[in-house]
Amino acid sequence: MTSENSYDGWVRTRQDGAVLTVTLDRPDQLNAQTPATWSSLAAIGDALTDEVRVVVVRGEGRSFSAGLDRSMFSAEPGTPGGLGDLGRRPTEEAQEQIREYQRGFRWLRQPGIVSVAAVQGHAIGAGCQLALACDLRVLTDDASLRLPEPTLGLVPDLTGTSNLVELVGYSRAMEICLTGRAVRAAEAQQMGLANVVVPAAELDGTVADLVAALTAPPVGASRATAALVRSAVRNDPDAQDAAERAAQVRRLQELVGGR
């Protein structure tokens, strides 16, 4: 069964059984994002059903996402969603607003799903952080990732720093963030930001093959294994060993019908 929906902020979805595809659909502006984009992404995460096992995040057109819509850089008071307007709010109110923005990204690593970013062209700023928010990334050979926020007097604040450090380590993340330089596809694969790099013409087929492989194992085993991999990032060895034991016993009990 297939279902399609459109959301504010130039976002649309298509669900085919266990696979949900989320597409940024503003190709004339290189899929530039606004607060409405992030609210829609959060709403999609809130509405996720247990049927969904894989979420694919894409950008329509020649770029994944060139980052913030230029209107957001306005310093004029009253500009909806503008950074200047956000900076004039009381501290707690401004932080709570950013927390809401972050919800549009953080759900992509929630239990029960595996998320895949299909990245072509530019993934800059918020676009890069959206790709980093996913579990896996497939890049075209012309793709580049960039976090220019510090060069603009800002910081990456859409969950990007923790995800980047997790993927490439402390020193590489520090250099990438502070210089704001572009990380091109070949380097991204070498450092572990990209799972695979393919010619643009092969992006759709490669993502489809990956999705098929991700949905092939039994759902219970797949979700339990994904949970273990996620917890391994932060657990010490003893805690992770215990998590493995507990997860395996639950799987065995389910398989033999004991519980």
Query: Which residues have a catalytic role annotated?
Result: 149
Q: For the purposes of burial, counting CB atoms within 10 Å of the CB of 165, is it exposed (0-12), middle (13-18) or buried (19 or more)?
A: middle
Judge whether 118 and 57 are in contact, CB under 8 Å. yes
DSSP 173-187: HHHHHHH---EEHHH
CA atoms of 65 and 245, how far apart (whole Å): 41
Task: Kindly give, in sequence order, each residue whose CB lies less than 8 Å from that of residue 98, ignoring residues fewer than 6 positions away.
Answer: 86, 157
Determine how many CB atoms are found less than 10 A away from the CB of residue 225: 15
Judge whether 59 and 31 are in contact, CB under 8 Å. yes
Instruction: Give the closest residue to 147 by CA, choosing from 133, 28, 107.
Output: 133
Judge whether 119 and 143 are in contact, CB under 8 Å. yes
- For residue 119, the surrounding DSSP H or E stretch is strand 114-119
